[in-house]
């Protein structure tokens, strides 16, 4: 007995366009209801971190921070190359912030110090690119909020993204070579807003 294989191949051909049409209708329906199908739903979740200056004699202490993944990073770790947005160091008796470019690492990470602002007052990253520093050490001062633009990452849909975060120094210990700060990060791709959407 000979079996025909044309029927299953026809069914497979129908499934893919039907699935694409169903997804398109769902996306159009969601957009029609006023919802952005690409919007990221998130909540404010500040956290506190302690980092150690690169200049300390002890090795393998976390001296870098990855704002996107919300983790402290040991800069000396070979696997950490290019996987951090900020490093902390001690220079001239003070604690400084280092974007990767200040250490010769190619990165889009940058920092903008905003003096005289409070953590809660900073709801959007500055649009003025002249406020950001990418290749120099930035002194850490109490009473200043630091807005960070992350290195390049990939978004939920494979797009090229940078993410924005804000941090406020809580304890600057230049003698001990440590910095404790509070931060929060937005998971919204290329969006300067530092607060969740309404």
pLDDT tens-digit readout, 37-50: 667 888 999 999 99
**69 and 150 share one domain:** yes
**27 and 54 share one domain:** no
The verdict on residue 191 lying in a domain is no
Residue ranges, the chain, pLDDT below 70: 1-38
Q: What is the pTM of this model?
A: 0.80
**Which residue segment(s) compose the domain that 6 sits in?**
1-37
The verdict on residue 24 lying in a domain is yes
pLDDT score at 36: 63
**77 and 16 share one domain:** no
pLDDT score at 25: 42
pLDDT score at 40: 80
Sign (positive or negative) of CA dihedral 190, 50, 114, 131: negative
The verdict on residue 42 lying in a domain is no
């Amino acid at each position: 007995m000979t079996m025909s294989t044309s029927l299953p191949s026809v069914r497979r051909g129908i499934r893919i366009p039907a699935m694409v049409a169903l997804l398109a209708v769902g996306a159009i329906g969601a957009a029609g209801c006023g919802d952005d199908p690409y919007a990221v739903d998130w909540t404010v979740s500040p956290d506190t971190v302690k980092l150690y200056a690169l200049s300390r004699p002890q090795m393998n202490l976390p001296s870098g921070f990855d704002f996107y993944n919300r983790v402290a990073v040991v800069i000396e770790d070979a696997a950490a190359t290019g996987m951090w947005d900020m490093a902390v160091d001690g220079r001239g008796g003070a604690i400084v912030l280092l974007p990767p470019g200040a250490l010769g690492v190619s990165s889009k990470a940058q920092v903008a110090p905003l003096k005289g602002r409070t953590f809660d007052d900073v709801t959007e990253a500055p649009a003025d690119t002249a406020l950001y520093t990418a290749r120099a050490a930035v002194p850490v001062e109490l009473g200043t909020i630091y807005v960070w633009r992350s290195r390049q990452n990939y978004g939920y849909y494979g797009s090229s993204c940078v993410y924005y975060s804000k941090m406020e120094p809580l304890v600057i210990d230049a003698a001990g070579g440590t910095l404790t700060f509070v931060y929060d990060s937005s998971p919204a791709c290329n969006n300067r807003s530092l607060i969740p959407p309404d």
